[in-house]
C-alpha cells in the first residue's frame, strides 16, 4: 500500500485527538482488513467519500473509550453510548476525513454526513465491492481504537 495516501489520515487523526482530548494517539502498523472479519469494537462512525474516487473512512471504538472521550469533551461522566457519544464520534470522523482532504488534493473529493453503527461485532457495508481496506490501529493511554480507510484506485494492496 502507498503510505503517501495513508499519512493524511494518520495526521488528521492525531491532530483531532490532541486538540479535542489532549491525548496523543500512537499509530501502530497499518494492515489490510478483510471485510466482515470479527473484531472487538462496540461502535463505529462511518463517512462516505465520493468524487474522483469512492470509498469510506471508519473509526471504531470500544464502548469504554467512546464514552470516556465523550465524557472528557462534555465535562460529565457518560457510561453508555448515548446521543452525546454518537455526536462526538460522528464529529471526530467528520474532522478526520475533512482534514485528510488537504493531503489528497490531487483528487477532488466530497464527504458525506457521518453515520453511526453500534453493537458487538457490528459489520460495515463498504460502498465498493472488493475494495482494499487499510486498518490503522492506534493506542492511547485510555485504550486502543482503529481507523479503516478504503478509497477506490487510490489505496491499493500493492
Partner 1 sequence: MKILVVDDSRIMRSIVKNTMKTMYNIEDGFIEASNGEEAYKALESMQVDLMLLDWNMPILNGIDLVRKLRAMDKYKALPIIMVTSEAAKYNVIEAVKAGVNDYLVKPVTEKNLYEKVKKYLE
Among 90, 132, 135, 150, binds partner 1 (CB under 8 A): 90
Considering the complex, state which of residue 55 and residue 90 has its C-beta at the smaller distance from partner 1. Answer: 90
Among 32, 79, 108, 156, binds partner 1 (CB under 8 A): 108
The window from 28-36, 37-45, 52-60, 81-89 that contacts partner 1 (CB under 8 A) reads 81-89
Looking only at residues 9 through 68 of this chain, which bind partner 1 when binding is defined by CB under 8 A? 12, 15-16, 19-20
**Phi, psi (rounded to 5 degrees) for 76:** -145, 155
Among 1, 23, 27, 95, binds partner 1 (CB under 8 A): 95
3-class DSSP assignment, residue 13: helix
The C-alpha atoms of residue 156 and residue 152 are separated, in whole angstroms, by: 8
Cell numbers at residue 31, please? 494492515
Considering the complex, state which of residue 62 and residue 112 has its C-beta at the smaller distance from partner 1. Answer: 112
Considering the complex, state which of residue 72 and residue 122 has its C-beta at the smaller distance from partner 1. Answer: 72
Minimum CB separation of residue 125 from partner 1 in Å reads 20
The window from 93-101, 126-134, 135-143, 148-156 that contacts partner 1 (CB under 8 A) reads 93-101
Extract the runs of DSSP E, i.e. beta strands, from 5-142.
26-27, 31-33, 43-51, 55-61, 109-111, 115-118, 133-140
**Phi, psi (rounded to 5 degrees) for 108:** -90, 115
Per-state percent for the chain, helix, strand, coil, to nearest 5: 35, 30, 40
**Which residues, 6 or more positions from 24, have their beta carbon under 8 angstroms from its beta carbon?**
14, 17, 18, 140
Site for partner 1, rule CB under 8 A: 12, 15-16, 19-20, 73-74, 84, 87-88, 90-91, 94-102, 104-105, 108-109, 111-113
Amino acid at each position: 500500500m502507498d503510505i503517501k495516501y495513508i499519512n493524511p489520515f494518520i495526521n488528521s487523526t492525531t491532530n483531532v485527538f490532541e486538540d479535542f482530548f489532549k491525548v496523543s494517539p500512537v499509530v501502530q502498523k497499518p494492515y489490510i482488513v478483510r471485510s466482515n472479519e470479527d473484531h472487538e469494537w462496540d461502535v463505529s462512525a462511518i463517512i462516505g467519500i465520493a468524487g474522483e474516487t469512492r470509498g469510506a473512512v471508519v473509526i471504531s471504538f470500544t464502548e469504554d473509550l467512546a464514552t470516556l472521550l465523550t465524557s472528557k469533551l462534555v465535562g460529565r461522566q457518560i457510561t453508555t453510548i448515548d446521543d452525546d457519544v454518537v455526536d462526538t464520534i460522528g464529529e471526530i470522523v467528520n474532522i478526520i476525513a475533512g482534514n485528510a482532504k488537504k493531503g489528497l488534493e490531487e483528487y477532488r473529493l466530497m464527504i458525506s454526513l457521518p453515520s453511526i453503527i453500534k453493537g458487538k461485532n457490528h459489520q460495515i457495508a463498504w460502498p465498493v465491492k472488493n475494495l482494499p481496506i487499510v486498518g490503522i490501529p492506534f493506542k492511547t493511554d485510555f485504550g486502543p481504537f482503529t481507523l479503516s480507510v478504503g478509497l477506490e484506485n487510490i489505496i491499493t494492496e500493492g
